[in-house]
Amino acid sequence: MPRLCAADLLALALPAGTRLLAGHAGLERAVTRPVLMRTRAPAFPRFSGGELALLSTAGLRLLDEPLSLERVLTALHAQGAGAVAVQGTVSPQACTIADTLALPLFALPPDCTLADVERAAARALSDAHAQAYQRSRALYQELLACATAGAGLEAVARRAATLAGSAVAIELCTPSQLRALALPEGAEPLSSHTQAALEAALFQQQPELVTALAAERLDAADPPVLRRTFPARHSAWPARVVAPVVREGTVAGLFSVLSGRDRPTIDERLVAAAGAAVAAVVLAQEEAVLSAEERLQARLLKNLLAGPALARAVLRSSATRLGLDPGRPAVPVTLHVHGSAGILGALREVRRALDALGLRAPAVAQDEVITVVLPGDGSCDHMSASALAERLRQTVAAIAGKQVSAGVSLPAALPELKQRWREAVEALELGRRVLGPGRTASYRQLTLYRLLRAAPDRGELQRFYLDALGPLHDYDARAGGHLVHTLAVFIECGYSPTAAAARLQMHRNGLLYRLERIRALTGYDLSSPETRLTLEVALRIRRLLDAEAPELSHTPESESVEHRPPPPSRNGTMQAAP
């Protein structure tokens, strides 16, 4: 339950005629009980935090060691006082200190008695705390009834808006989204422009609020409440009161009551706290249901892709339960999120990417690989499947902020789905090795690499490479040249000198000189189709052998020569590139 704060004192606990002199920035400080200054040491008992200190400037002069109000304010702030009420003359210096400390400083009327103020304030605060507690429980029960009826956060927000008499917003933090925005019954609906501006203002304040709330004691059932002002353009709501929706000890969302007052009422704060507590319950229920659905989906998908052979009727039933159309081809895509904190976190990022793309597709994680079965259509071919996989890979990478690799095979009807999935797994693994991480590898694109990898004699592959490119290899090793790399880039650029020179960041004439040097060393006619085929196969053999060398990390040929792996030597060992 949110505590009473210094802003409530004028209305609830202090005598008529009391004025707020300074410390306006601290009006949200919690206030628990009044404490009267004694005229003997110690002037105040030990504070536990949130006390309303009552004193008079005349009483300060009666102490054995007279104290100035300025020193007392500093000491009371250090002890955690919530506010100070003074009878007597208050100097400008004392007001300055109160402003600096954000400690509310009230001036009591001269005709009141401090002992009477203490008794009246204690009684008023006690009654207000009791009423707030009862109101808080009633609000919680009423909002919880909406939640348990299965109406979701939207219904909770609508009921909370009616109870508070003001607009209510429920935000989620990961990812940032506005789950619900509700107005009181009978209120005029917001225009699209106003709603868009409001959402922007909410999200703009979200990072700072999450940080501020995370520093508080987080209790899902009794969350803290903060107040924030809104930009001037939102004149209908000068301020908002915000309570965190707490899940597993962290701020999972924000429950806000948008107040039409500069200082929100106690009831608005109570609605925000009760609403946040109920929203935490709703989120826990949603996660439990989602977890059960995910477990069932994962079991069905694993059986479909890696389990024993299934009868056609079982295949169709499983596909339907997974949200797939049994009559249409599907595209299995495998993904690996590099540097992810865990496979389940990576799976959540993949699901967020699917939502962002508007794709309804089952996904499952196993052995650091995430499999997504994307729905295809009758016209889905190899090229469109690869394009769809690349779009998903890029979206996951953007959301995760990490490098993502993907593998994809051909679209498949249900009976062929298991084989196509195995091909997508192989494409992911082989593509990461020979093409490098952060790319989408197609099973068909890797046909030559698969053929070469199937060769039983690695020595024969190495001999082919050296027979084809041995002179360039020897030149590079001897003279510190880059001819093998230059040739690889030239081939990757479609045998275009201009494109290859741009890729290598060198002058075109310099590239032409290197190509002439390659011709002189090898005798190759680079325009001959047979020669081109031989060179391309040799370079792919090198990539494959480099990828299979366990002591070396893979770097694709297209990267800068300073970071490429060393080529194999003539005697079959690996030697360092200059």
Answer yes or no: is pLDDT of 575 > 60.
Answer: no
Side-chain-side CA neighbours of 242 within 13 Å: the count stands at 29
pLDDT of residue 366: 79
pLDDT of residue 569: 40
Q: Which of 503, 506, 304, 328 is nearest to 417 (CA)?
A: 304
Mean pLDDT of the chain: 83
Q: Are 103 and 73 in contact (CB under 8 A)?
A: yes
Residue 401 main-chain phi, psi, to 5 deg: 70, 30
pLDDT of residue 1: 58
Q: How many residues does the chain have?
A: 578
Q: Are 41 and 18 in contact (CB under 8 A)?
A: no
Mean pLDDT over 278-294 rounds to 78
Angle, alpha carbons 442-445-451 (nearest 5°): 115
Answer yes or no: is pLDDT of 177 > 60.
Answer: yes
The amino acid occupying position 533 is L
The amino acid occupying position 83 is A
> From the centroid of its chain, how far is CA 30?
32
Cα–Cα dist 82/102, whole Å? 10
Residue 319 main-chain phi, psi, to 5 deg: -60, -40
Q: Are 251 and 215 in contact (CB under 8 A)?
A: no
Quick: pLDDT tens for 239-255: 889 999 998 888 989 99
Quick: pLDDT tens for 317-368: 877 777 777 888 888 899 998 877 667 778 888 888 888 888 888 888 877 8
Which has the higher per-residue pLDDT, 235 or 102? 102
Residue 259: enclosing H or E segment and its boundaries?
strand 250-259
Tell me the CA distances in angstroms from 121 to 11, 37, 115, one per residue in order.
Answer: 11, 14, 10
SS (H, E, C) 167-235: EEEEEEECCEEEEEEECCCCCCCCCHHHHHHHHHHHHHHHHHHHHHHHCCCCCCCCCCCEEEECCCCCC
Quick: pLDDT tens for 219-241: 888 898 888 887 755 567 888 89
β strands within 439-497, DSSP E: 440-442
Residue bearing tokens 């962290």: 250
Eight-class DSSP state of 561: G
- pLDDT interval class at 88 (50, 70, 90): very high
Q: Does residue 528 sit in helix, strand or coil?
A: coil
Reported pTM: 0.53
